Structure 1
Amino acid sequence: MTMANVAPDTTEAGPASGGGPPGAGPPSPRRRFGDRIGSVEVLAALLVLLVVFRAPLSTAISSPRLQTWTTVFVSVMVQAVPFLVFGVVLSAVIAVFVPRSFWARALPKHPALAVPVASAAGVVLPGCECGAVPIAGSLIRRGVTPAAALAFLLAAPAINPIVLASTAVAFPNNPEMVVARGLASIVVAMIMGWLWLRLGRADWIRLPHRPEHDGMSRGRAFWAAVRHDVVHAGGFLVLGAMAAACINVLVPERWLQLVADNPFLSVLVLALLAVLLSICSEADAFVAASLSQFSLTSRLVFLVVGPMVDLKLVSMQAGVFGRRFAFRFAPATFAVAVVVAVAVGVVLL
């Protein structure tokens, strides 16, 4: 037995330990001020700082630029949060209470036919790309052909009812955006699935052993899934709303208009912006709607690329499927998504 496993003898309390009745053990140490800084101390310090610097803070808050930033940020958050929460809850219900083996039984045996069926199956999964990545990995583990699982991975975050409903709310005067987004997204998913059947290699995918909610009750697993998705998706939503507000405030209007007036440059810029912002698919329509300087086709590219290729999604794919897969699959998906979205936008918008 190591010394670390031996409990200290406390049967005797000498003068050094403060004395006390025999056998009572040493008295509990008194907490001294400064031993630990908790939330109460942090809150008190913040309140003191607010009182001390109230004059410069009030001047900064009254700035028209900051008021504009706050208005854009709050409007994006207020519109997007209900869809985000509803989507996270429903995604957790499906992930916990619906057996994953159901998807393997529901798909056709022929890989080429399984790809469009798996793409359409994304309609019944109200969730974002954060939940679609581990589900796609589980499908492959359960024997589903990788092409079908990858098609599901790309389609589910973009064509489920929550995302399409949020798109309709964000673009009330352009209902054709809902049709264009759904059509372009499912076409991209099927093309990438068929491309994987043609060009993909099994050794590019390396699935690590990652037990999910093993040994947990359904109730605990449900709340664990909800907390995980809310923390991840909600955090990226806040960052996306802040970025949208910064673009509207910090970037000069003439710059945005200059980019928006160039059809090719506007498509490329919004495609790259979708990758960088990494906004959850339940909320990206509200950010796209705020970029009113750009054409509907450019914003459609933003909506199609975002749920399929963004920074958080590429990192999650690298963690679930391996880096060799992510570094090949993400650029190909980006190129196909841009081309298909532009084609659909030219026809429908």
Structure 2
Amino acid sequence: MKRKSFTMLAIIMILSVALAACNSKNEQSSPSSSEPATASGEQANAAGGNYTIGISLPAADHGWMGALISNTKTEAEKHKNIESIVYTAKDPAKQTSDIEDLITKKVDAIVMLPIESAALTPAAEKVAKAGIPLIVIDRAVNSESYRLYIGGDNYGIGYGDAKYLVEDLIKRNGKAEGKVVEISGVPSSVTDLRSKGFRDYIKDYPDVQIIASQPGDFTREKALKAMENILQANKEIDAVYSQDDDMTVGIVQAIKDAKREDEMFIVSSGGMQEIFKMMKEKAKPEVVVSLTYSPTMGGSAVSLATLILEGKGIQGLWEKSVPHHIVLEATPVTPDNVDNFLDPDSKY
């Protein structure tokens, strides 16, 4: 899918390691306070140094973010030689202030998931100027000021969703033709890459038309409202491209409220159990695919930050340092294979 180098690196990560966070359950925590919390762990690391890691994350306004916050804290608590300072924020200004505070505290490394890519780029550059290793999760910043980026294959998600959408249109209509709407996320590299991947695929199918696109900001409430507006303005819709499973829940509700669930289908991403259950039950409107985007990357970011501070590479790789850029593969979950992904213990 035009992402061979990223996919190979993702496979190396999956086969080689050992990151403790990858064994964590996708548990959702309750929304965290914006006040800092500290945590020290129960498990000693091999290296003797003691470190402080600052963690700056968006507040848990949807299930995926709640699970990521939980996984990040869980991994930090495993390391006896790591003290963590955790901030959550609801807007870029507060997150910028949190980052500046962590710089003032002279933490040894900072793990950040930017609320918005562009808005947090200056803060990322301040971290670099302070000589503090920056680990960026999920949404990239608009500069190379970070030591490590770890996230999912967002371009691949958009490209893959488009592939499934076109294939389903052919099954239903006999040809690649249909009216499609898009519900996108917040302004960020994640949203931009998912939109680009989607459009790059469907540009070869001129009769597949994007007739509307509105932001749902990765929340089911805003996605519901956006979809309501689109339904009112468009009397014929064949398919919906949702950039996130939480948003898909709101989209489904809007379609049901309009009594148009037999008219269209949805392609989505995230890997949320609520969507998997819809697939299993063959609920309508039908969700034909959800490409996984695991919140365990938060725990992996902390584990990788620890390796960076200890001057270690990833076990199983010949390189003696952690890579600069890690992209995790997106796995398609469909009604045909959903049984392999249902997890009654998962909170996401």
Task: Work out which of the two has the higher radius of gyration on C-alpha atoms and give 1 or 2.
Answer: 1
Same fold (TM over 0.5): no
Question: TM-score if structure 1 supplies the norm length?
Answer: 0.23
